Structure 1
């Protein structure tokens, strides 16, 4: 791992985390609703029968309206359960079956399906602090999603605020790129060779 790239990532994470803390509740609520509306027209999500999503943190663009919309369409939604070895298990999302996990992250309380359940999803909606025009995603730095997505055959879609879609994000070879980006302003398709 390059020390300069690591330093760039750390500095950018600090900047973006501070910006997120400054957002109002109204901004976050409006962003969550707009993202869900844009998702309704996204062909990859319209065709999907099973989607991996995540339970958003208070500072992130909210995923609750999007998850509710998918479930209302009959789409089965899986949400992650972090493991101590920094791997992810998956659980079918059920309304009200959520608790705060060991890392302070909302987690499902239902029965785990195993790490392989991700491969049964058509789309994986993933969090990020930023995404660039080439689809490089900046996560929080623990690598959970990069490891989980390494062999994922479906469409990977990051969910970020409008100002977190950047021209360039520092990245390394192990960082898994995304195919689509959902923001409150709409859908962005990075320059990648996929029909989405």
Structure 2
């Protein structure tokens, strides 16, 4: 691996190690707080089309957040992970419509898969993150799904990362030129918009 890839892998290991220490009780409570933070910030308006992910494992649970979006009659697109790095989308209608995909994959709706360019309909896109810095650089799991999917977004859309509060910090996140920066960070504690007018200094490999 090159220097940036090494730094990303090291940071992923550290983040996942800490995540695994969170209890189910903490995760459940944090999922509710995540929805409350989104409501307080008014991130999504009624009847909007948005994209969000179905959480899995040690991620901040998104079930309460998705329920809120349904309550305000938002049209919700959730990922359908195909073979390789291809990502499609399906419309989310509630947890009862999800199918367990097994392995290290999130649950998915059972209905038809929409093409990758369906993402262009979304005005706000919520993405999973392991770490985010103050410039909006985001660390994902390394599979590259979002890197490919975000090519189809509407350029006017907002990208909001979801992570645990301690994963959003001043510490620079290693990133490559093709990594897409986010416009804001939502945690169980609060929503923080990212000022992209800041000077985006390059990450220096140590």
Same fold (TM over 0.5): yes
Question: Is the CA contact (8 Å cut-off) linking 1:61 and 1:160 kept in structure 2?
Answer: yes
> Deviation at 1:185?
1.3
- TM-score, structure 1 as length reference: 0.92
RMSD: 1.5
For each residue in 1:57-116, what CA deviation from the matched residue of structure 2 results, as whole angstroms up to 9, or x when unmatched? 121000000000000111111100011131210000122121233653122211112111
1:1-196 equivalences in 2 (<5 Å): 3-46=2-45, 49-95=48-94, 96-101=96-101, 103-105=103-105, 106-153=107-154, 154-167=157-170, 168-193=172-197
Counterparts of 2:144 and 2:90, CA distance in 1: 20
Structure 1 unaligned segments of length 5 or more: list them.
none
Structure 2 unaligned segments of length 5 or more: list them.
198-206
Matched position secondary structure for 1:51: strand
- TM-score, structure 2 as length reference: 0.88
For each residue in 1:41-72, what CA deviation from the matched residue of structure 2 results, as whole angstroms up to 9, or x when unmatched? 33441266111011101210000000000001
How many pairs were matched up? 192
> Deviation at 1:37?
0.7
Question: Is the CA contact (8 Å cut-off) linking 2:31 and 2:188 kept in structure 1?
Answer: yes
Counterparts of 1:175 and 1:48, CA distance in 2: 30
